[in-house]
Amino acid sequence: MKPTVAKALKITGITLGSIVGVVLIAVSILCYVVFTPKRLTPIVNQVADSMNWKK
């Protein structure tokens, strides 16, 4: 492989990896902010009540 192609692939890989990393961090922070326990608890209770678990 030519050095220029290898360098271009390396730069592209680092760029794509960085973009994926930033997106994952942003989604994690967004989930932390949006899905607070105050919002999730009623939803979880509703789903748990509708399951009709048998003992």
* Amino acid letter, residue 8: A
Higher pLDDT, 54 or 9: 9
Other Cβ atoms less than 10 A from the Cβ of 32: the count is: 9
Q: Residue for token digits 């961090």?
A: 25
What is the rounded distance in angstroms from the CA atom of residue 16 to the CA atom of residue 33? 26
The alpha-helical segments, DSSP class H, found in 1-55 are 3-34, 37-50
What is the rounded distance in angstroms from the CA atom of residue 27 to the CA atom of residue 33? 10
Quick one: pLDDT band at residue 48, thresholds 50, 70, 90?
confident
pLDDT at 49 over 90: no
pLDDT at 53 over 80: no
